[in-house]
Amino acid sequence: MDINKYSKFIDHSPLKMDASESEIIRFCNEAIEHSFHSMVVFPYYIDLAKKIIKDSGVKLDTVVGFPFGNELISIKSQQARTYLEMGADEIDMVMNLSAFKSGKIDEVKLDIDAVLKEVRHKNALLKVIIEIELLSDEEIVRACNIVAEIGADFVKTSVGLLRGSKPATVEKVKLMYDTVSPKGLKVKASGGIHSTEIFLAMIEAGASRVGTSKGIELLKGLKNSNQEIDY
């Protein structure tokens, strides 16, 4: 089994409120050692992470509007500009769920587009988090179509930090994939992906990227099993 092809699905993500500097250093070194696609950090740690992963091939990912997504559009745009100038390669932004639930779709679109303009200016990637557990299937499809219309690169399941949040499900990821893949977008799955079985199931359902803090454990699980999928 080629473990390296699976490592490239992983965005190594120690996104917890009390993440210490020593933890970030450890995660960065793990990302390099295991050739993960990216290292995801809160903006506070961009400078530190950038120094560690420089020239390693690991991308630097950070977050905008995290975790609730309801900042002013101008603030989100400025966040993206600042973080990209600091060296971020990818941005995971939270869609404005309040505006979406209120039917203010034009504002939702303006919000995503403002961040996307900053991302495109730096030739970076944008993933838009729609927080699927707060949405019905119909709303998931609608949100995915909005993200696709604006032209982001990925639609992402969730922040994984909300109180009482539930793990992402294979069925929802498949729904997202079926909605956006014909339009050229990809899907990032995150939220409680802690077992090799679920990891592989997410990939099989269409996820091109998986956000998790358990990447090393997932790869170890692959080494200890004969599971493999074609994609």
pLDDT digits (tens, 9 = 90+) for 71-87: 999 999 999 999 999 99
61 is catalytic: no
User: What is the CATH number that goes with domain 3-223?
Assistant: 3.20.20.70
Q: pTM value?
A: 0.95
Q: What band does 229 get if pLDDT is binned at 50, 70 and 90?
A: low
Q: What is the full DSSP assignment across the chain?
A: --HHHHHTTEEE----TT--HHHHHHHHHHHHHTT-SEEEE-GGGHHHHHHHHTTSS-EEEEEESTTT--S-HHHHHHHHHHHHHHT-SEEEEE--HHHHHTT-HHHHHHHHHHHHHHHHHTT-EEEEE--GGGS-HHHHHHHHHHHHHHT-SEEE---S-STTPPPP-HHHHHHHHHHHGGGT-EEEEESS--SHHHHHHHHHHTEEEEEES-HHHHHHHHHTS------
Find the catalytic residue in 61, 92, 111, 153. Answer: 92
Domain map (residue ranges) of the chain: 3-223
| Residue 16 falls in the annotated catalytic set | no
Per-residue pLDDT band at 224 (split at 50, 70, 90): confident
| Section 47-64 average pLDDT | 98
156 is catalytic: yes
Q: What is the pLDDT of residue 113?
A: 98
pLDDT at 160 over 90: no
Q: What does the pLDDT average to over 62-78?
A: 97
The active-site residue out of 50, 127, 156, 172 is: 156
